Structure 1
Amino acid sequence: MLRKILLGVAMMVLAAGVVAEEKPVFEAGVHYAEISKAVPTRSADKVEVVAVFGYLCPHCNNFEPMLQSWEKNLTDDIDYHHIPVVFSKAWAPLARGYYVADMKGVVKETHQAMFDAVHMQNRRFNNEKDLAEFYAGYGIDPEEFDKLYNSFAVDTKLNQGMAKVQSYEVTGVPSMVVNGKYRVTASMAGGSAEMLKVVNYLIEKELNSN
């Protein structure tokens, strides 16, 4: 009798272990949204993940440290990058500043610093001069910043970014887009940390479909 009881307990423990190891399954329309028309990605050889953000967004500010920790575990078959959103005229200068930093190759140094400047130091970037002063601290000469800020190249990046955000059907940030097909938000996923779980699920889904 004791042997049967012990065997039964062992089976229950084993079953519990199997359940615990099962990967979560997320549903379209529940945990993430399917974009109505797939948006072309930058590279056909990689799974693209785009973080759509705004420096003025407090939720993006809170989410950024999670993103930075998550990014450290990405493999070479993932193309991860950002797109700054422009919901109003007030958002456009900061988006332009991001693209200047991107063109100069200093986003890794300036990205978190800009969030900190806006949300921790309460700095207000009311004009181009304010932004030039900020980015001067990261090696961008103010005159060069001004030229790039008003350049055709930055105009193009800004317009392309806005067009992609519209195609992604983004209405709020932070949002993440996987391979131009799926949009993930905190409200659908159930929280910021859960967003990344859903993104990981969709990345694996896309990798396995190739």
Structure 2
Amino acid sequence: MRMMKQILSVAVLAFASFGAAASPAAPKEGAEYKALPTPQPTDTGKKVEVIEFFAYWCPHCHTFDPILSAWVKKQGDNIVFKRVHVPYNERVAPQQKLYYTLESLGLADQFQPKVLAALHGGGQGFTSDEEVFAWVANNGVDKQKFIDTYRSFGVAGKVRRSAALMDSYKVEYWPLIVVDGRWQASPSLTGEANKNLNTEAAQQQATTQVLDFLVAKAKAEKK
């Protein structure tokens, strides 16, 4: 119990030290973060599972990505980071399949910034299979291997599972982060709880402090 209190105290101080732009106290449940009504199982052992629900086409996911990626890198072995590309409509369905194909090929992290840059200012729409195939081929991916994977049962299963995960984790908007299968955090929640964070960048950066707190809380409870 003493170790748990010490870890949480460090997380509280880290959040408070963010300065005047952030809450002066620890993140509060129901404000900076929310507890899931039904905790979801994790399979990450002593490491803390962190899941981002996102979409390639989402402009807020695009601007949050470098901030979140830097945070994930800083966490190192503390966490196991996963992404779930949410379904939306048929027009952008190829983007979801693009993500899960890259994930199946072990290329998702490598291509994350490239896909986002292509969509947000790079002239790509990724609204058809053929556009996706041409783009990946131009970016050094084996086209036939990609197509075979894109059309595989495995990718189709991941697409179906994403909808089920959204229901299980009560995902209604994105980007949304779930920590340890129990708590939701997001720039939207951070901004609502801290009205003085009047830019999206400030809300996104402050959200990493909330994530620090939740990861520390989860690790303490795993002791």
TM-score bracket, shorter-length normalisation: 0.7 to 0.9
RMSD of aligned C-alpha atoms? 1.9
> TM-score by structure 2 length?
0.80
Identify the range of structure 1 (127-136 vs 138-147) with the bigger mean alpha-carbon deviation. Answer: 138-147
* Alpha carbons 1:128, 1:146 under 8 Å: kept: no
1:205 counterpart letter in structure 2: K
The match for 1:14 is none
What is the CA–CA distance in structure 2 between the aligned matches of 1:95 and 1:101, rounded to whole Å?
A: 10
C-alpha displacement of 1:147? 1.5
What is the CA–CA distance in structure 2 between the aligned matches of 1:92 and 1:166, rounded to whole Å?
A: 18
- Please tell me whether Structure 1 or Structure 2 has the larger radius of gyration of its CA atoms: 1
Unaligned runs of 5+ in 2: 1-11, 17-24, 192-202
What is the CA–CA distance in structure 2 between the aligned matches of 1:26 and 1:57, rounded to whole Å?
A: 26
C-alpha displacement of 1:149? 1.0
> In the comparison of the two structures, how many residue pairs are matched?
192
2:214 is aligned, of 178, 202, 209, to: 202
The match for 1:151 is 152
C-alpha displacement of 1:166? 1.8
| Residues 20 and 196 of structure 1: CA distance in aligned 2, closer, same or farther (over 3 Å) | closer
* Alpha carbons 1:34, 1:182 under 8 Å: kept: yes
C-alpha distance after superposition, 1:171-193 (max 9, x if no partner): 11111110110111212112211
2:206 counterpart letter in structure 1: E
Q: Identity of aligned pairs, percent?
A: 28
What is the CA–CA distance in structure 2 between the aligned matches of 1:77 and 1:40, rounded to whole Å?
A: 18
* Alpha carbons 2:42, 2:181 under 8 Å: kept: yes
The match for 1:33 is 34
SS in 1 for 2:53: strand
| Residues 138 and 41 of structure 1: CA distance in aligned 2, closer, same or farther (over 3 Å) | farther
What is the CA–CA distance in structure 2 between the aligned matches of 1:35 and 1:200, rounded to whole Å?
A: 18
| Residues 20 and 139 of structure 1: CA distance in aligned 2, closer, same or farther (over 3 Å) | closer
